[in-house]
Chain A
């Protein structure tokens, strides 16, 4: 049987990784508790927020232990969440020795993101499909394919520089709008609004919004509020980016068009 500290650090590390990759609070709390149960820790308390974990175990014994983690809101990686879910199932099902569990955890942690080229391509495809779904024509979809690829390229660069989320969203939506308006001024018969709507989809806070609702539903009001603020601010940043470029464009064109 592992010591309290070993069991607790495995459990908290798993929770940390889940939270970092975009799992909702309820799942994180549940996983941490289940892992502690599986390693026969009986006395514990776990409190999870959307950007932090607080846990303590066996406070009445000599090997009492407690841990605090700060987990900044990060990028989503659904593959890691699924892998960690599988791992926690196996830990709960039988007696996976703790050293082996650590190895599996490291394997989950190092699951890679998609290759940049692949992501750029799929972002283009996704944006063009959305431009079509929201009422654009074939030409709009084609332009949205290019703007979507440009957007993902920008996002990858921003991620490398670790720049702020606000800047990322403002610059991203500004770039998309600029390209759509360029296509318009090049004389192409495009619906520039459909192109913009399709291409801002990768920035739109669908993830934060959904997680927020589920947090509220599970009674985690504070975490729900944090995610909701994140979603609203993101939407606001997108609006700022789009509006700035459109306003500048109108100014340069002498207030005509659009």
Chain B
């Protein structure tokens, strides 16, 4: 089951990387980034941490993974970060908030609205924590890999 989720989220992120015209060589890695993100999210949701914590940890994993990939492949972080973020962006939250709003279910609309804001906040924190790790760790990684490829 989790393998299927991994595979589907990989295809989904890869497709969106195509829409954003990511370099062809990086497409697979972009898809993989999204899949890792979704996997972390699903695992923590299954552990009953709640969506907020799951989103926070998944975004953190995404950011670290994207920075690692960027250092190794010598590409801007943006390429991987943008492709990988889509499984987490609260599209469902936007939908349910507005849906219950027009259905006059104010309580439910408010609930989903708060949920969306909280998820957005969790994503913000995840990205910030991810970027707070010193760049030197990732640069070191990049040097190791360059030396390896020259040998």
- Tell me whether A82 and B26 are in contact in the complex, defined as CB-CB below 8 angstroms, given that A76-B82, A206-B82 are known contacts: yes
- Tell me whether A122 and B124 are in contact in the complex, defined as CB-CB below 8 angstroms, given that A130-B87, A133-B9, A133-B87 are known contacts: no
- As a 0/1 sequence over residues 12 to 36 of chain B, the CB contacts with chain A under 8 angstroms (1 = contact) are 1001111111111010000000000
In the complex, are the beta carbons of B74 and A89 less than 8 A apart? Answer: yes
- As a 0/1 sequence over residues 74 to 117 of chain B, the CB contacts with chain A under 8 angstroms (1 = contact) are 11101101110111010110111111011100000000000000
State whether the Cβ of B49 lies closer than 8 Å to any Cβ in chain A.
Answer: no
- As a 0/1 sequence over residues 113 to 146 of chain A, the CB contacts with chain B under 8 angstroms (1 = contact) are 1100011001101100110111000000000000
State whether the Cβ of A16 lies closer than 8 Å to any Cβ in chain B.
Answer: no
Chain A nearest Cβ from B63, distance in angstroms: 10
Residues of B within 8 A of A99 (CB): none
Residues of A within 8 A of B24 (CB): 79
- Tell me whether A235 and B15 are in contact in the complex, defined as CB-CB below 8 angstroms, given that A78-B79, A79-B21, A246-B102 are known contacts: no
- Cβ-neighbour of B94 out of A76, A111, A152, A204 (below 8 A): A204
In the complex, are the beta carbons of B99 and A242 less than 8 A apart? Answer: yes
- Cβ-neighbour of B76 out of A81, A200, A207, A235 (below 8 A): A81
Max chain A Cβ within 10 angstroms of own Cβ: one of B38, B86, B128:
B86
Range class of the B interface residue count:
35 or more
In the complex, are the beta carbons of B21 and A130 less than 8 A apart? Answer: no
In the complex, are the beta carbons of B89 and A82 less than 8 A apart? Answer: no
Number of A residues whose C-beta is below 8 Å from B? 55
Q: How far is the CA of A111 from the CA of B128 in the complex (A)?
A: 32
Chain B, residue nearest A18 (CB): B76
6 contacting pairs across A/B (C-beta < 8 A): A78-B22, A82-B79, A119-B19, A133-B5, A200-B91, A242-B95
* B residues whose Cβ falls under 8 Å from a Cβ of A: 5, 8-9, 11-12, 15-24, 26, 38, 74-76, 78-79, 81-83, 85-87, 89, 91-92, 94-99, 101-103, 120, 123-124, 127-128, 131
* A residues whose Cβ falls under 8 Å from a Cβ of B: 22-24, 27, 76-83, 85-86, 89, 111, 113-114, 118-119, 122-123, 125-126, 129-130, 132-134, 152, 193, 196-197, 200-202, 204-207, 209-211, 213-214, 217, 235, 238-240, 242-243, 246-247, 258
With A23-B78, A78-B83, A201-B16 given, can you name 8 additional A-B contacts, CB distance below 8 Å?
Answer: A122-B19, A125-B15, A133-B5, A197-B92, A200-B94, A210-B127, A213-B128, A239-B98
